[in-house]
Amino acid sequence: MPDKTYVIKEVAMVDVVSNMEKMLIAKPPCNINVFSARHRKTLRYVVDKVHGIPWNVGYMDLEDVEEQVRKTVDEADLIYIKGLDRDKSEKMTFHISINDKSSDIVREYPSGIMFETPYMVGLKSFVTYNSIFNVTSKNNRIVFVIPNDDVPNTKDDADHVDVITLDRTLVKESKHLENESKEFTYDFHTGEEEEEEEENIDTKRKNNNNIRVTHILDEGIYEVEDILQKIRAKVPKNRLFKIILDTEKQCVKFEGGIGIDFRSSKSIGPLLGFERQMYRADKLHESTLRVDIFPINMIRIRCNLVKSNISDYKFHDDTIHEFPLDSEPGEKIIERPVFPSFYRINTDTLHLLHLKIVDQDNRIVDFRGERVNILLEFRPDK
């Protein structure tokens, strides 16, 4: 037989003479030789076509099927064995199960999965654990702006600046600071911010500037009071500073001898309800936005096989399912819709399946390496 692989792309439904109720299933990819060697029985089958080449219908041994395959080697690369019932409404429903540790999932099918008639796809189940952190490297920074009377007065002290990490030991870093804790200076009179070279610490004493200290929270799951307590613990002892959660107004308030700069793209300010701006010392400040301590409230599952939905004003949305995130941190997330929604797929051959798990703002959800299990159902569009 020529050196070509014949793949049964569809589940082959056949009646075994000895047992009319059984079905022989060849899961793709399956070499036709392997299939015929395993099932050397007389079968009643119907073959609709092999790339347009008609086959006879009747009782045949699979060895005869092999012989017909040999004859069509120059005309066809793939064999399609259809069900016994020629009724198009009896096309098969099948599932694709996916298990991954990422929320951006790609599966490739080089040989392709053929859909001879229009098919639809829907979510049958989604299972993982809620290990989502609300404080990550993208929002764990807070910058204290300390008035210049706290700048060291001696040359020895001026060669050092405190770089504080809230969940680590306070250390004295030398002039060569780590990149992640690069220092800035802020001039209250001009309102201008300039990035300073790490080794040029002495300029903080010149030009009447204020010293800035970056605080870094370890990544994790925090309540509002947990974050506020971390901040209180690192306020310099010679400074009066108060920060509280107003439970009646559901806002955070602070005042004292330290200003806070929430302008950084990695600032924790928005999590506490503060806008991305500079808040000066010796004034009472109150968050004006909602305290968004757990910013993810909706899980969406997107699939590249559909483009038929509308999200707000966005056409051709590829969301196949969404549900509220109502499980507590550490609990299992189980979503099994009772009545799944199905959407017509936009291809007749599946070579690439791309799934994304995102939040309500279409940001990829990080489950911190927890395994994600997804079951998709494909069914004919009747």
- Residues, the chain: 382
Whether 125 shows a pLDDT value over 80: the answer reads yes
Whether 13 shows a pLDDT value over 70: the answer reads no
Pair 194, 300 in one domain: no
Output the DSSP codes for 76-117: -SEE-PPPS---GGGPPPEEEEEEES-SEEEEEEEEEEE-SS
Taking 3-state DSSP, the helix, strand and coil percentages for the chain, each rounded to the nearest 5, stand at: 15, 35, 50
Specify the residue for token string 């308030």: 253
Bridging pattern class, strands 193-195 and 184-186: antiparallel
Q: What angle do CA 361, 142, 227 make, to 5 degrees?
A: 80
Tokens of 178: 């780590």
2 inside domain? no
What pLDDT sits at residue 119?
94
What pLDDT sits at residue 271?
93
Q: Which of 234, 257, 286 is where one domain is finished?
A: 286
Residue that wins the pLDDT comparison between 168 and 62: 62
1 inside domain? no
Whether 290 shows a pLDDT value over 90: the answer reads no
pLDDT bin (cut points 50, 70, 90) of residue 375 is very high
Pair 341, 276 in one domain: no
Torsion sign across C-alpha atoms 18, 93, 84, 349: negative
CA-to-CA distance for 323 and 297, rounded, in angstroms?
9
Pair 306, 253 in one domain: no
Q: Can you tell me the mean pLDDT for 303-308?
A: 88
Whether 105 shows a pLDDT value over 90: the answer reads yes
Specify the residue for token string 């079968």: 43
Pair 115, 175 in one domain: no
CA-to-CA distance for 348 and 204, rounded, in angstroms?
66
Structural domain count of the chain: 3
CA-to-CA distance for 196 and 300, rounded, in angstroms?
42
361 inside domain? yes
Q: Which of 286, 304, 337 is where one domain is finished?
A: 286
Q: Can you tell me the mean pLDDT for 221-241?
A: 92
Tokens of 106: 């790609």
Pair 168, 216 in one domain: yes
Q: Which residues of 156-165 are buried (b: 16+ CB within 10 A; e: fewer)?
A: eeeeebbbbb
Torsion sign across C-alpha atoms 294, 298, 299, 302: negative
Distances (CA, A) of 157 to 151, 152, 153, 169, 252: 9, 5, 7, 19, 34
What pLDDT sits at residue 104?
97
pTM exceeding the 0.75 threshold for the entire prediction = no
The tens digit of pLDDT for each residue in 150-196 reads 444 433 333 333 344 444 333 333 333 333 333 333 333 333 343 43
Q: What is the CATH number of the domain that holds 302?
A: 2.60.120.1100
208 inside domain? yes
Distances (CA, A) of 229 to 166, 171, 279: 10, 20, 19
Pair 18, 76 in one domain: yes
Residue that wins the pLDDT comparison between 1 and 250: 250
Pair 310, 250 in one domain: no
Pair 76, 97 in one domain: no
Name the 3-class secondary structure at 213: strand
pLDDT bin (cut points 50, 70, 90) of residue 101 is very high
CA-to-CA distance for 349 and 110, rounded, in angstroms?
11
What pLDDT sits at residue 63?
54
Pair 104, 151 in one domain: no
Q: Which of 86, 116, 150 is where one domain is finished?
A: 86
For 220-235, what is the HEC assignment?
Answer: ECCCHHHHHHHHHHCC
Residue 326 belongs to what domain range? Answer: 93-132+296-380
The tens digit of pLDDT for each residue in 315-349 reads 678 999 999 999 999 999 999 999 999 999 999 89
Q: Can you tell me the mean pLDDT for 224-239?
A: 91
